[in-house]
């Protein structure tokens, strides 16, 4: 029987008996080039149809976009698949609007009105504060459910990923850590950041291979403080520079030396500079974060380790590039930023040991539906 | 091997492969239970294809009607199928000749009809949701807010109005010159009784540096000092007060209180969050809120003109006031005035025209002395 090996199949992916043999010892995801025209067309169609359908089409449009993007990434020559569908997101939306948004809004409006009418301003404020905390808790529940949904709707060779763990447990921790970050004026941020990543990683399994992570913030604190100081210095310097430039610019403008258009463009560009200044030091922190998170991971009983070799400058170029694409295309080239993200992941992520394909098994289907809607994110990737 | 119903009339002992050309290569299969890649051969019959695992496993019969194409798939030249609608199972055909054969047997998988069941259901759901959203905005929200405004006891409304004055306007300062306040109370009381608002009401002048007037729940009215300064005649001021009394009469302040929350919640849920949808949600919430507001303003204007007519006060005050405020609008205000759908009020031209057409009174609202005293309410 002739072999069906494809050019991008690694040698030895399957043998004469038609079964997989050992995968190579180092694996990388591959981003199949091309496909931008179709992705962009789908994006534009989604935007237009969403506008004409009071954005309700977005559930299906989003699914199409994810399906296209997932299919561009391959492992061992086989593509990933996004198996979610618009109906699931739509049903999640209907559940959220009728079971949560409308009743909660009505109850809160009535409570506010009642407290105000009784002159119980302090109680009203306390209720308002508790409500905000409640919403934050629900948002964090949704963040976890969204992660669970996306993982479970991602499959490779027909098998899914799965996220166990408790969304409410995650949300309580998120609430406590958010309070901790606020009380320590942000100093607890690396701890919280590492905690959430560790929680998500430890909840994840793929094909029955459980992910284990020992990610800790110890290695992040120094980078975080250094990047924070760099951000403050850079923003201060740029703001000072801008203040020095504003006076002469205004004079030039009012004396007719600068046209209205040039004045407006210069003003916009100068206003955007501080944003770029924040991005740069943040890139070094995030790069360290991803590297350390990947380093902490062991997959399955075989303790397969992974590496995410991204460095500050690479991440800064990526972030600034995306930022420029979004600004200068007025969002029309947004899909390009998704492809850049996939490129980055494929370029940097390495699985350092062979995958025990023969031991991998299908994961159960997860009926989660409401996370996407409640988290309100709707990011594509 | 279990034979499907369509194959039951075949001669006893016959195998599918004897009735169809069997292909020996060019396809692989994942069984949906593990990621092991099984090389397979496939054969095509009239209604189904059969998968023969190369490792000697049981053949799998897949009726075309239960086979779904997975699209997009990489590489594009390969054909990926989900046989028997089993969620994890995948059959990938790599051989172009086999793909052509499959296409010949099951062309509908390659070109599903434009109006297939899934598409009809999807667009029905979208249409129904849009219709529901329109109904929510045009019927449910106005009815619900009207019902709430009706059900809330008057004492509660009064307390909310009083507490808003205390919390929002008192810290900014209220103008309380006794003579001016007495004149203002008399004028307001007179107009209120003509409108049919006989219950207790309060009017305040707040030291706010913008031209505006507010009707709060429980018949608390607030005029700004700037408005009093800009008003050039007592008829103009009477028109503004009558307009706010119109809102009070129709229960708009309490309705607006509940409506704000509802509109925001519904638009938020409808549009979702995120980068683009979030922006659209804000614009939509503004447009919808302003739409309700425009209807309320028109209704309040009509009540105001009737009250002015009854008191024989000239509605020219309303015309003049709107003309002046329209002229003084510049920049964003002027643009909003042109974008009717994004304005809280009907256009000034429309309001001037209505006042000029319906107004029958000829007099000022106050004597020159009383007007002067009222203008000095803030000292």
> Could you report the per-residue pLDDT of B53-62, keeping only the tens digit for each?
888 888 999 9
Flag whether pLDDT at A39 surpasses 70: yes
Identify the band that residue A3 occupies on the pLDDT scale cut at 50, 70 and 90.
very low
pLDDT value, residue B131 = 92
pLDDT value, residue A232 = 86
Q: Average of pLDDT values for B276-287? A: 66
Closest partner residue to B25 (CB to CB) among A4, A67, A81 is A4
> Could you report the per-residue pLDDT of A314-333, keeping only the tens digit for each?
999 999 899 889 888 988 99
Identify the band that residue A242 occupies on the pLDDT scale cut at 50, 70 and 90.
confident
Flag whether pLDDT at B338 surpasses 60: no
State the Cα–Cα distance between residues A359 and B34, nearest whole angstrom: 8
ipTM of the complex: 0.79
* Contact flag B122-A87 (C-beta cutoff 8 Å): yes
Taking CA–CA distances from B73, the nearest residue in chain A reads A71
Buried b (16+ CB within 10 A) or exposed e, A307-319: ebebebeebbebb
CB neighbours of B165 closer than 8 A, spacing ≥ 6?
Answer: B174, B202, B204, B216, B220, B222
CB neighbours of B210 closer than 8 A, spacing ≥ 6?
Answer: B224, B226
pLDDT value, residue B1 = 42
Flag whether pLDDT at B303 surpasses 90: yes
> Could you report the per-residue pLDDT of B351-379, keeping only the tens digit for each?
888 888 898 988 999 999 999 999 999 87
Name which residue leads in pLDDT, A309 or A110: A309
CB neighbours of A324 closer than 8 A, spacing ≥ 6?
Answer: none
State the Cα–Cα distance between residues A306 and A309, nearest whole angstrom: 10
Cβ neighbours of B122 in A, within 8 Å: 60, 86-87
Q: If you count residue pairs, one on A and one on B, with CB atoms under 8 Å apart, how many are there?
A: 192
Taking CA–CA distances from B126, the nearest residue in chain A reads A56
Length of chain B: 379
Taking CA–CA distances from B26, the nearest residue in chain A reads A4
What the block records as the tokens of B262 is: 């509802």
Q: Is A108 on the interface with B (CB under 8 A)?
A: yes
pLDDT value, residue B259 = 81
pLDDT value, residue B277 = 57
Taking CA–CA distances from A371, the nearest residue in chain B reads B272
pLDDT value, residue A22 = 52
Distances (CA, A) of B311 to A196, A238, B190, B277: 69, 64, 8, 50
pLDDT value, residue A199 = 95
State the Cα–Cα distance between residues B149 and B138, nearest whole angstrom: 17
* Contact flag A19-B90 (C-beta cutoff 8 Å): no
Cβ neighbours of A4 in B, within 8 Å: 25-28, 39, 94-95
> Could you report the per-residue pLDDT of A341-358, keeping only the tens digit for each?
999 999 999 999 888 888
pLDDT value, residue A322 = 92
Taking CA–CA distances from A60, the nearest residue in chain B reads B122
> Could you report the per-residue pLDDT of A136-175, keeping only the tens digit for each?
898 899 889 999 999 999 999 999 999 998 999 999 999 9
* Contact flag B156-A117 (C-beta cutoff 8 Å): yes
Identify the band that residue A4 occupies on the pLDDT scale cut at 50, 70 and 90.
very low
Cβ neighbours of A71 in B, within 8 Å: 72-74
State the Cα–Cα distance between residues B355 and B314, nearest whole angstrom: 9
Flag whether pLDDT at A334 surpasses 70: yes
pLDDT value, residue B29 = 93
pLDDT value, residue A347 = 93
pLDDT value, residue A10 = 39
Q: Which long-range contacts link B143-150 to residues 24+ away (Cβ below 8 Å)?
A: B144/A106, B144/B258, B144/B262, B145/B255, B145/B256, B145/B258, B145/B259, B145/B262, B146/B251, B146/B255, B148/A110, B148/B254, B148/B255, B148/B258, B149/B251, B149/B254, B149/B255, B149/B258, B150/B251
Among A101-115, A258-272, B266-280, name the one with the lowest average pLDDT.
B266-280
Taking CA–CA distances from B93, the nearest residue in chain A reads A4
Q: Is the peptide bond before B42 cis (omega within 30 degrees of 0)?
A: no
> Could you report the per-residue pLDDT of B73-85, keeping only the tens digit for each?
888 889 999 998 7
The distance of B239 to chain A (nearest Cα, Å) reads 29
The distance of A140 to chain B (nearest Cα, Å) reads 14
State the Cα–Cα distance between residues A1 and A97, nearest whole angstrom: 56
Identify the band that residue B278 occupies on the pLDDT scale cut at 50, 70 and 90.
low
Identify the band that residue B18 occupies on the pLDDT scale cut at 50, 70 and 90.
very low
Flag whether pLDDT at B17 surpasses 90: no
Work out the mean pLDDT of chain B and round it to a whole number: 82
State the Cα–Cα distance between residues B42 and B53, nearest whole angstrom: 9
Work out the mean pLDDT of chain A and round it to a whole number: 84
Cβ neighbours of A374 in B, within 8 Å: none
Identify the band that residue B328 occupies on the pLDDT scale cut at 50, 70 and 90.
low
What the block records as the tokens of A126 is: 């306390």
Q: Average of pLDDT values for A228-248? A: 81
> Could you report the per-residue pLDDT of A72-100, keeping only the tens digit for each?
999 998 999 999 989 998 988 888 877 88
pLDDT value, residue A149 = 92
Q: Is A213 on the interface with B (CB under 8 A)?
A: no
Q: A38, A157, A339: best mutation site toward chain B, by most B Cβ within 10 Å?
A: A157
Alpha helices, DSSP H, located in A9-85: 36-52, 58-70
Assess contact for A181 and A166: CB atoms under 8 A: no
- Residue A14 DSSP code: B
Q: Is A360 on the interface with B (CB under 8 A)?
A: yes
State the Cα–Cα distance between residues A282 and A235, nearest whole angstrom: 12
* Contact flag A18-B160 (C-beta cutoff 8 Å): no
Chain A (5-34) residues lying within 8 Å, Cβ to Cβ, of chain B: 6, 8, 13-14, 17-20, 32
Among candidate residues B307, B185, B186, the one with its CA nearest the CA of residue B246:
B307
* Contact flag B159-A106 (C-beta cutoff 8 Å): no
State the Cα–Cα distance between residues A337 and A348, nearest whole angstrom: 16
pLDDT value, residue A98 = 79
Q: Average of pLDDT values for B158-175? A: 88
Angle subtended by helix axes A36-52 and A334-348, to nearest 10:
130
* Contact flag A74-B257 (C-beta cutoff 8 Å): no
Assess contact for B325 and B343: CB atoms under 8 A: no
* Contact flag A207-B38 (C-beta cutoff 8 Å): no
Cβ neighbours of A378 in B, within 8 Å: 272-274, 277
Closest partner residue to B55 (CB to CB) among A18, A50, A155 is A18
Q: B74, B159, B170: best mutation site toward chain A, by most A Cβ within 10 Å?
A: B74
């Amino acid at each position: 029987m002739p072999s069906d090996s494809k050019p991008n199949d690694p040698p030895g992916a399957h043998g004469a008996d038609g079964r997989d043999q050992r995968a190579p010892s180092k694996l990388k995801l591959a981003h199949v080039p091309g496909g931008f025209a179709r992705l962009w067309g789908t994006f534009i169609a989604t935007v237009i149809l969403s506008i004409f359908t009071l954005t309700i089409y977005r559930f299906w449009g989003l699914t199409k976009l994810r399906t296209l993007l997932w299919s561009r990434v391959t492992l061992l020559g086989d593509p990933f698949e996004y198996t979610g569908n618009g109906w699931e997101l739509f049903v999640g939306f209907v559940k959220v609007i009728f079971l949560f948004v409308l009743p909660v809004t009505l109850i809160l409006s009535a409570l506010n009105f009642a407290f105000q009418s009784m002159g119980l301003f302090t109680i009203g404020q306390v209720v308002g504060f508790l409500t905000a905390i409640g919403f934050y808790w629900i948002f964090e529940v949704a963040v976890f459910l969204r992660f669970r949904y996306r993982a479970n709707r991602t499959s490779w060779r027909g098998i899914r990923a799965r996220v166990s763990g408790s969304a409410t447990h995650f949300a309580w921790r998120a609430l406590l850590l958010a309070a901790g970050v606020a009380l320590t004026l942000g100093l607890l941020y690396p701890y919280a950041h590492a905690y959430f990543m560790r929680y998500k990683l430890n909840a994840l399994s793929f094909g029955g291979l459980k992910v284990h992570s020992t990610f800790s913030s110890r290695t992040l604190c120094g980078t975080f403080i250094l990047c924070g100081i760099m951000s403050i210095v850079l923003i201060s310097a740029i703001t000072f520079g801008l203040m020095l430039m504003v006076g002469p610019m205004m004079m030039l403008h009012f004396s007719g030396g600068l046209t209205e258009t040039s004045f407006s463009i210069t003003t916009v560009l100068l206003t955007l500079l501080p944003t770029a200044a924040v991005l740069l030091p943040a890139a070094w922190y995030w790069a360290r974060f991803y590297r350390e998170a990947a380093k902490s991971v062991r997959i399955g009983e075989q303790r397969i380790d992974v590496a995410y070799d991204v460095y500050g400058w690479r991440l800064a170029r990526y972030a600034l590039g995306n930022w420029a694409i979004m600004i200068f295309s007025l969002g029309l080239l947004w899909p390009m930023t998704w492809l850049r993200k996939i490129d980055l992941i494929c370029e940097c992520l390495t699985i350092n040991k062979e995958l025990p394909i023969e031991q991998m098994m299908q994961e159960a289907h997860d009926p989660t539906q409401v996370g996407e809607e409640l988290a309100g994110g709707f990011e594509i990737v | 091997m279990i034979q499907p119903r369509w194959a039951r009339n075949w001669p006893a002992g016959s195998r599918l492969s004897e009735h169809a050309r069997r292909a020996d290569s060019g396809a692989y299969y994942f069984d949906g239970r593990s990621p092991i890649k099984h090389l397979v051969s496939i054969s095509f019959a009239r209604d189904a294809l059969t998968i023969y695992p190369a490792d000697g496993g049981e053949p799998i019969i897949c009726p075309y009607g239960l086979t779904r194409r997975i699209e997009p798939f990489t590489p594009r030249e390969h054909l990926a199928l989900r046989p028997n609608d089993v969620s994890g199972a995948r059959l990938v055909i790599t051989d172009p000749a086999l793909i052509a054969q499959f296409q010949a047997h099951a062309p509908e998988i390659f070109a599903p009809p434009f109006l297939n069941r899934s598409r009809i259901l999807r667009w029905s759901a979208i249409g129904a949701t849009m219709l529901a959203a329109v109904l929510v905005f045009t019927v449910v929200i106005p009815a619900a807010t009207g019902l709430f405004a009706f059900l809330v006891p008057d004492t509660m409304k009064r307390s909310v109005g009083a507490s808003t004055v205390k919390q929002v306007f008192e810290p900014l300062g209220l103008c309380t010159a006794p003579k001016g306040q007495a004149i203002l109370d008399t004028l307001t009381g007179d107009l209120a009784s003509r409108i049919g608002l006989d219950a207790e009401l309060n009017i305040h002048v707040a030291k706010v540096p913008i031209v505006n007037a507010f009707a709060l729940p429980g018949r608390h009215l607030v005029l700004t000092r700037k408005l009093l300064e800009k008003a050039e005649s007592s008829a103009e001021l009477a028109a503004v007060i009558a307009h706010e009394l119109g809102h009070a009469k129709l229960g708009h302040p309490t309705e607006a209180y509940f409506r704000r929350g509802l509109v925001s919640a519904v638009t938020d849920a409808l549009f979702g969050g995120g980068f683009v949808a979030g922006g659209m949600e804000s614009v939509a919430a503004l447009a919808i809120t302003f739409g309700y507001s425009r209807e309320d303003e028109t209704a309040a204007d009509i009540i105001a003109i009737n009250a002015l007519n009854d008191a024989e006060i000239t509605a020219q005050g309303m015309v003049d006031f709107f003309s002046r405020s329209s002229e003084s609008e510049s920049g964003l205000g002027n643009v909003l005035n042109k974008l009717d759908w994004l304005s809280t009020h009907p256009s000034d031209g429309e309001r001037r025209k209505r006042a000029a057409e319906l107004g029958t009174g000829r007099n000022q609202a106050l004597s020159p002395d009383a007007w002067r005293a009222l203008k000095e309410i803030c000292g």
